[in-house]
Amino acid sequence: MSRDIWDPAVYGRYAGERARPFHELIARIPAERPERVADLGCGSGELTVELARRWPAATVTGLDSSAAMIAKAPAGHDRVSFTVADIRTWRPERPVDVIVSNAALQWVPEHRDLLPRLAGDLRPGGVLAFQVPGNFDAPSHVAVRRLCRSAEWRDELADLVRYEPVDDPQGYLARLAGLGCLVDAWETTYVHVLPGDDAVLGWIKGTALRPMLDRLADRPERRAAFLAACAEMLAEAYPPRPYGTLFPFRRVFVVARAPG
């Protein structure tokens, strides 16, 4: 992406729902006293600070490609630092004990090809732990792809459509086990109950729709028309119920321990 498309305020509206997979991921990391921890794609950094709480002896570095997100990162933690960096080119100065990435690798083209390098950046016995959304075929994403490729929008938005599904747990396990890692891989489908009107639209405005909304940022009438069309399609796919809108969300988790 050529420029920063992330809006911390929009992304943070569902902070609790987005944090739950992070906590379930780090609960499965078999590292007792790591010294150096990296959080790749750390966003606005609130969860990065949780890594320092989990491991009181560790120095934690949070990295994100969005300067806007890093600008919102918490300050005043002597063992936590943040920097703007691209996951594709980042290399630690020396091997680290734990690399964590929560809902970030799916944004990296051909992220599977990065796994050998990331595993190689670990100290012997170090851990690579990541979580990626596995919802590329969910009704929300299908609706967005269909809309962007429709006659009305294809000239403006079709080139932004990405279809790079993440692997299933077995696929990641096979890749990392082939590198000699001991791998724990699983998937979970969360059924979120979202409050308010156009709830699913509100969720994906912070993630899947960011490239489209960025493209239309200088054309407010077209942006409003696009959002209205999205809202109509999503309301059909996710009808509101008396207690909220059900939003199933599949996520894939991997914890890989390097040999040594």
pLDDT attached to residue 10: 55
β-pair partners for 254: 130, 185
Ordered domains of the chain (ranges, CATH): 8-257 (3.40.50.150)
Report DSSP state, residue 226. Answer: H
- In single-letter form, the type of residue at position 168 comes to D
Q: What is the pLDDT of residues 101-154, one digit of tens each?
A: 999 999 898 899 999 999 999 999 999 999 999 999 999 999 999 999 999 999
Reduced to 3 states (helix: H, G, I; strand: E, B; else coil), residue 76 is coil
Copy the structure tokens of residue 74. 């918490």
For 65, 97, 256, the CA distances from 115, given in Å and listed in that order, are 18, 15, 10
Residues 18-25: what's their mean pLDDT?
94
Whether pLDDT at 6 is above 50:
no
What is the CB neighbour count within 10 angstroms for residue 213?
17
Residue 225: alpha-carbon gap to chain centroid? 27
Question: What is d(CA 105, CA 102) in angstroms, rounded to the nearest whole number?
Answer: 8
For 16, 99, 145, 206, 243, the CA distances from 72, given in Å and listed in that order, are 17, 22, 31, 16, 33
Q: How confident is the model at residue 3 (pLDDT cuts 50, 70, 90)?
A: low
Place of tokens 């990162």: 73
Question: What is d(CA 93, CA 34) in angstroms, rounded to the nearest whole number?
Answer: 16
Residues 147-169: what's their mean pLDDT?
92
- In this predicted structure, which of 69-73, 149-153, 227-231, 249-253 has the lowest mean pLDDT? 69-73
Closest CA to 101 of 12, 25, 167: 25
Name the pTM for this structure: 0.90
Q: Please list, residue by residue across 217-230, b when 16 or more beta carbons sit within 10 angstroms of its beta carbon and e when fewer do.
A: eeeeebbeebbeeb
Q: What is the pLDDT of residues 55-112, one digit of tens each?
A: 999 999 999 999 989 999 998 889 999 999 999 999 999 999 999 999 999 989 889 9
Sign of the dihedral defined by the CA atoms of residues 196, 137, 39, 127, in that order: positive
